[in-house]
A and B are shown apart, each in its own frame.
Chain A
Amino acid sequence: MDFHLTREQEMLRKLFRDFAQNEVKPLAAMVDEEEMFPETTVKKMAELGMLGIYFPKEYGGAGADVLSYVMAVEELSKVCATTGVIVSAHTSLCCAPIYENGTEEQKAKYLPKLCRGEWLGAFGLTEPGAGTDAQGQQTVAVKNENGDWVLNGSKIFITNAGFADVFIIIAVTGTVLDKRGRKSKEISAFIVERTDPGFSVGKHEKKMGIRGSSTCELIMEDCVIPKDRLLGKQGKGFAIAMKTLDGGRIGIASQALGLAEGAIEETIKYTKERVQFGKRISQFQNTQFQLADMHAKTEAAKWLVYSAAMKKQNHEPYTMDAAMAKLVAAETASDVTRRCVQLFGGYGYTREYPMERMMRDAKITEIYEGTSEVQRMVISANLGVN
């Protein structure tokens, strides 16, 4: 077991940190305040190869590994969780399912443009009646006389939706009988392009945190897509969605990790400057112990996240690892940012400092891509507790 980064990973960490500090941090407050999707930053990240980090060069990727992608989302989220989730959703929820389930033609058509950032990706699973209960899908896809697929239905809370060009859409394609003869939905995955007829992006959600990320509704009204847009085999959509979310959870865990680390960095800096009762507040034992606890907890989360990333990279089963990483990192991010606001005192509650934004941003990591409760379900199921 070796806990050291490779020399390339060390260099990548430096690149991501420099980029985050110089290009992302200065915009973070504005991105939040004005609910501004950071389009220019996305273009810059694309030029540096940050939108296809772990995909092979033959598909336009940068040829690095999953851990490097994790470090990118982590470093971005230290200063701006909005920018972090844009990369995470694009990579884990759109590029990854195409790379892992697509035909050679689909990979050749979509991955180079996605990895180079010419196209941005998104993933549509959640519906008004199907969030945590992903089996509750209402969106349907039926074949027409030409063999093409016609999609009808809507998706909600779709990250990157307003700016994405390619969407992975999960839809019901029929009914099947299970082993006991009970009827259940046959679910399939599709690649839908923004310009497809009958496809539109609806209402933009106003959110508590990650306010610069574009979260919208997707509407499909007799949306016709060619037959070769089926992703994976018909009826395998639920498995594709679940596997995609396993990977997505590593991305969100990295976002949560970055938030916790970023909050601690800001708080250490602040407590060394702020003077009360004639002392820097970093000299009070309460501050020292709080930060020590927060750092230890965050480091523990970090190794869970990195370990899940390494397992994915090595093609080992990682479903439970991703669930544990996301559960622990998200709850750490929420706890740490809340405690950091407390250490900042009144200033932490104002928008003059980034802490209240970080606390708002952290909350979503306990909710999206599977709530903390879902992660506990996944972990306990993997433990055989039922």
Chain B
Amino acid sequence: MKCIVCVKQVPDTSGVVAVKEDGTMDRAAMATITNHDDLAAVEAALRIKDATGCKVVVVSMGPPPAEGMLRELLAMGADEAVLVSAREFGGSDTYATSQILAAAVKKIGVEDDDIIFCGRQAIDGDTAQVGPQIAEKLHLPQVSYAAEIKVEGKTVTVKRLLEDGYMTIKVQTPCLITCVKELNTARYMSVGGIMECYQKPLEIYNYETLKDDPLIDVDTIGLKGSPTNVYKSFSPPVKGAGMMMEGADKATVEKLVSILNDKHII
């Protein structure tokens, strides 16, 4: 058994969000972090490794500096890493990215009892599309928004975190699960793990490695081939602090109803 985890290095939006004159994000000017939901996915895989001794492979598509993030994940306990990196892949939207990542996952090899993990969505694009698209391309059953995962043999029970409640689904391996950050708290790297992480295998998949895979249509990848075009990026206006009302008496409730009514919310 093995777990393959797809991860993305994203700009650290807790700092300043830099936008270039052409409206796209200035990624080079911003610090980078591992996407929060993806870290939950890595932790989920590492917990399965703790329990079963299975192998964990982390895979990321990105520029060469993304190796630093992959080394950190190896220092947390992942066994192998794959960096999917080529100029031809740059600027890919979710449609293009999922083709490339699906081909990469296929090349790593999906066996009967394997689980593919992804984060629900990345904090830069917020699309939540890549994980499900990879599953579709690989013809794997998918369960999104995992907030609890239990593995028993080839059966995986997943509690999904939805806006209005939970949904529990049982699925057979091989399958793809997308994780929300509420799933767990990711572990730290360990000192010993850091000392070993540069000795662990990290393979680079470039354009030549993947271009002949039928999952990839070379005309629909990269910035040119991606059907999505971003016209502008901007920081959203800061929301107001909101208003707190205290009290459980009739007068307070009436006041609340009146305010909501005035704002045409009810």
Instruction: Please say whether chains A and B are actual partners in one complex.
Output: yes
**Pairwise interchain contact B195-A15, C-beta atoms closer than 8 A:** no
**Pairwise interchain contact A64-B188, C-beta atoms closer than 8 A:** no
The answer for the CA separation of A14 and B189 in the assembled complex, in Å, is 9
Among A18, A19, A57, A64, contact of B194 (Cβ-Cβ < 8 Å): A64
Residues of chain B from 153 to 197 with CB closer than 8 A to chain A in the complex:
188-195, 197
Instruction: Judge if A378 is at the interface, Cβ distance under 8 Å.
Output: no
Instruction: Judge if A4 is at the interface, Cβ distance under 8 Å.
Output: no
**Pairwise interchain contact B71-A11, C-beta atoms closer than 8 A:** yes
Q: In the complex where A62-B195, A64-B195 touch, is A11 in contact with B72 (Cβ < 8 A)?
A: yes
The answer for the CA separation of A246 and B185 in the assembled complex, in Å, is 40
Residues of chain A from 48 to 76 with CB closer than 8 A to chain B in the complex:
48-50, 53, 57, 62-64, 68
Among A7, A11, A19, A49, contact of B192 (Cβ-Cβ < 8 Å): A49
**Pairwise interchain contact A64-B190, C-beta atoms closer than 8 A:** no
The answer for the CA separation of A92 and B224 in the assembled complex, in Å, is 58
**Pairwise interchain contact A53-B191, C-beta atoms closer than 8 A:** yes
- Listed residue (A7, A8, A18, A64) with the most chain B CB atoms within 10 angstroms of its CB: A8
The answer for the CA separation of A12 and B72 in the assembled complex, in Å, is 10
Instruction: Judge if A47 is at the interface, Cβ distance under 8 Å.
Output: yes
| Interface residue range, chain A | 10 to 19
Chain B neighbourhood of A47, CB < 8 A: 190
Residues of chain A from 3 to 48 with CB closer than 8 A to chain B in the complex:
7-8, 11-12, 14-15, 18-19, 47-48
Q: In the complex where A7-B198, A8-B198, A11-B197 touch, is A62 in contact with B71 (Cβ < 8 A)?
A: no
Least distance between B10 CB and chain A CB atoms (Å): 17
Closest B-chain residue to A18, C-beta based? B188
Among B75, B195, B198, contact of A63 (Cβ-Cβ < 8 Å): B195
Least distance between B45 CB and chain A CB atoms (Å): 19
- 1/0 contact string of B60-96 vs chain A (CB within 8 Å): 0000000000011001000000000000000000000
The answer for the CA separation of A68 and B190 in the assembled complex, in Å, is 13
**Pairwise interchain contact A62-B192, C-beta atoms closer than 8 A:** yes
Least distance between A284 CB and chain B CB atoms (Å): 25
Tell me whether chain B's interface is mostly helix, strand or loop, or mixed: helix
Residues of chain B from 228 to 248 with CB closer than 8 A to chain A in the complex:
none
**Pairwise interchain contact A12-B194, C-beta atoms closer than 8 A:** yes
Residues of chain B from 132 to 161 with CB closer than 8 A to chain A in the complex:
none
Least distance between A163 CB and chain B CB atoms (Å): 21
Chain B neighbourhood of A19, CB < 8 A: 188
Among B72, B191, B198, contact of A49 (Cβ-Cβ < 8 Å): B191
Closest B-chain residue to A44, C-beta based? B188
Chain A neighbourhood of B195, CB < 8 A: 8, 62-64
Among B72, B191, B197, contact of A48 (Cβ-Cβ < 8 Å): B191
The answer for the CA separation of A343 and B265 in the assembled complex, in Å, is 49
The answer for the CA separation of A57 and B192 in the assembled complex, in Å, is 8
Residues of chain A from 222 to 247 with CB closer than 8 A to chain B in the complex:
none
Q: In the complex where A11-B71, A11-B75, A11-B197 touch, is A63 in contact with B189 (Cβ < 8 A)?
A: no
**Pairwise interchain contact A50-B191, C-beta atoms closer than 8 A:** yes
Closest A-chain residue to B72, C-beta based? A11
Least distance between B225 CB and chain A CB atoms (Å): 35
Chain B neighbourhood of A11, CB < 8 A: 71-72, 75, 189, 194, 197
The answer for the CA separation of A62 and B191 in the assembled complex, in Å, is 6
Chain A neighbourhood of B75, CB < 8 A: 11, 15
- Listed residue (B190, B191, B198) with the most chain A CB atoms within 10 angstroms of its CB: B191
Least distance between A3 CB and chain B CB atoms (Å): 20
Chain A neighbourhood of B194, CB < 8 A: 8, 11-12, 15, 64
- Listed residue (B72, B189, B192, B198) with the most chain A CB atoms within 10 angstroms of its CB: B192
**Pairwise interchain contact B190-A49, C-beta atoms closer than 8 A:** yes
The answer for the CA separation of A47 and B189 in the assembled complex, in Å, is 10
**Pairwise interchain contact B192-A63, C-beta atoms closer than 8 A:** yes
The answer for the CA separation of A57 and B188 in the assembled complex, in Å, is 19
Chain B neighbourhood of A15, CB < 8 A: 75, 188-191, 194
Least distance between B202 CB and chain A CB atoms (Å): 13
**Pairwise interchain contact A62-B190, C-beta atoms closer than 8 A:** yes
Least distance between B166 CB and chain A CB atoms (Å): 28
The answer for the CA separation of A186 and B193 in the assembled complex, in Å, is 44
Closest B-chain residue to A69, C-beta based? B191
Chain B neighbourhood of A62, CB < 8 A: 190-192, 195
Chain A neighbourhood of B190, CB < 8 A: 15, 47-49, 62
Least distance between A4 CB and chain B CB atoms (Å): 15
Residues of chain B from 182 to 223 with CB closer than 8 A to chain A in the complex:
188-195, 197-198
Closest B-chain residue to A19, C-beta based? B188
The answer for the CA separation of A361 and B198 in the assembled complex, in Å, is 38
The answer for the CA separation of A326 and B7 in the assembled complex, in Å, is 44
Least distance between A270 CB and chain B CB atoms (Å): 20
Residues of chain A from 250 to 264 with CB closer than 8 A to chain B in the complex:
none
Sample of 18 A–B contacts (CB below 8 Å): A8-B194, A8-B195, A8-B198, A11-B71, A11-B197, A12-B194, A14-B189, A15-B188, A15-B191, A15-B194, A48-B188, A48-B190, A49-B192, A50-B191, A57-B192, A62-B192, A62-B195, A68-B191
Chain A residues in contact with chain B, CB under 8 A?
7-8, 11-12, 14-15, 18-19, 47-50, 53, 57, 62-64, 68
Closest 8 CB pairs of A and B: A49-B191, A62-B191, A62-B192, A49-B192, A11-B194, A63-B195, A48-B190, A49-B190
Given contact pairs A18-B188, A48-B191, a sample of 7 additional A-B residue pairs in the complex whose CB atoms are under 8 Å apart: A8-B194, A47-B190, A50-B191, A57-B192, A62-B192, A62-B195, A63-B192
Chain B residues in contact with chain A, CB under 8 A?
71-72, 75, 188-195, 197-198
